[in-house]
Copies of this chain bind each other. A is one copy, B any other.
Amino acid sequence: MRLFQQLTRRTALTGLANPRLSSQIPSTRLWQRNFGATAAAAQQAALDASKLEITKTSTPKELTPNNELVFGATFTDHMLSIEWTAKDGWQTPQIVPYQNLSLDPSTCVFHYAFECFEGMKAYKDNNGGTRLFRPNKNMERLNKSSARIALPTFDGEALTKLIGEFVKLDDRFIPNARGYSLYLRPTMIGTQKTLGVGPPGSALLFVIASPVGPYYPTGFKAISLEATDYAVRAWPGGVGDKKLGANYAPCILPQLEAASRGFQQNLWLFGEEEYVTEVGTMNLFIAIKNKETGKKELITAPLDGTILEGVTRDSVLTLARERLIPQGWDISERKIRMADVAQAAEEGRLIEVFGAGTAAIVSPVRNISYRGKMVDCGLKETEEAGEIALQMKNWIEGIQYGDENNDWSVVI
């Protein structure tokens, strides 16, 4: 058996035998580009917000009336667009009229899912100012997602500044009403025009914006979930904790399965233990009376690589630690089995359950179908939300719209 180092030297001499990689840039340079501050990386241009060029539309759109807004269906006049190449780094940031992307059919985003995104919102405050909510968290996560699929990383503050300029330009699209906002969709795609499976040599970072109304226009509507045990969303060592396109298309069928039986979302369980992980496209929170401690406990799944690192999840946890612990609550990031949730319900210890995400902030759960039985999540027949869910929505919305002064809310 040869020694490892001998082999490394030997293959370094013969080079890469795989033409799918060697036909592109030498792999070591590609590796360095993504992971180290090397000489090669230093020659690439960083994302520079001061270079922004703006081309205004000559055909401004008509605004959609607030009551006709549909999530992600209409967009503003412009878009932010920044190209990147492995050779030169980040190009001049451009704000241009909202327009189609024209891409060669061999572009790697169509074949190998080189794509990741963020969801964030801009809000109008009571003084007519415009605010973003914790944009640094979105920038941090987009960089993590991008690096995981060999797409470029960028300076988060620079992109936040550029997004601010974009939002200011399309300011008239932000509905000035409580619960309304401008949904922002930063997206990164690989644009290399070859079918070889390798790290993209070019990419496009773009941001589009869609005015949106409240998730629950007429007040909360508690949802019913179906626990999914026949399909798995994420696993240890996989990419379920990144906001990749790859994590979404495979989730539609289980969602449709649940919908065909009358459930609004599916609840992803994991492993033989059937740990509760996520619900549809949200993180999940479970409030129980803990049997052992006798205390009230707010539980969500830990970030073990199978859970999306939700910004709303983090916000709920932070506020809960700050404001619920003094009221006697325990706040836990821990694994909980679905069977334990069902048992808590049977014993009258399940206080409430809610999803957490950017779209709805919180989404109260009425019940969960699990192994042919319905687990009642503690709401009264006449209630559409529990106390904690309501409280969280009010706290977070208060910060988002600037009623409460908080570092999380950034005026642009």
Contacts and interface: CB of A to CB of B under 8 A. Distances in A.
A268 B25 CA distance: 24
A189 interface: yes
Given A250-B239, A252-B198, A264 B16 contact: yes
A297 interface: no
Contact of A105 (B187, B222, B239): B187
Given A2-B376, A28-B260, A187-B105, A253 B148 contact: yes
A103 interface: yes
A183 interface: yes
A412 interface: no
A359 B20 contact: yes
Interface stretch (A7-15, A332-340, A392-400): A7-15
Contacts of A376: 1-2
Given A72-B106, A111-B185, A221-B17, A8 B261 contact: yes
Query: Which of A99, A249, A264 counts the most B-chain CB atoms under 10 A from its CB?
Result: A249
Interface string A180-203: 000101010110001111110000
B244 A249 contact: yes
Interface residues of A, number: 109
Contacts of A99: 105
A103 B100 contact: yes
Contact of A187 (B111, B216, B235, B369): B111
Contacts of A104: 100-101
A201 to B, nearest CB: 12
A231 interface: yes
Tell me the dominant secondary structure on chain A's binding face. mixed
Contacts of A28: 259-260
Contact of A246 (B4, B16, B113, B231): B113
Interface in A97-115: 98-106, 109-115
B195 A72 contact: yes
A55 interface: no
Contacts of A253: 34, 148-150
A196 B373 CA distance: 30
A311 interface: no
Given A238-B250, A245-B111, A196 B105 contact: no
A223 interface: yes
Nearest to A256: B31
A8 B262 contact: yes
Contact of A232 (B31, B105, B235, B251): B235
Contact of A71 (B103, B148, B195, B367): B195
B71 A23 contact: yes
A113 B245 contact: yes
B224 A11 contact: yes
A111 B117 contact: yes
A327 interface: no
B4 A372 contact: yes
Interface string A330-359: 000000000000000110000000000001
A236 to B, nearest CB: 7
A173 to B, nearest CB: 15
A383 B160 CA distance: 56
Interface string A198-235: 11000000101010000110000111100000111001
A113 B248 CA distance: 7
Contact of A112 (B100, B208, B248): B248
Given A11-B264, A20-B71, A101-B110, 20 more contacts: A10-B262, A12-B262, A23-B70, A101-B102, A103-B103, A109-B109, A110-B187, A111-B187, A111-B248, A113-B113, A113-B244, A115-B249, A150-B252, A150-B256, A185-B195, A195-B210, A198-B252, A230-B237, A232-B235, A245-B245
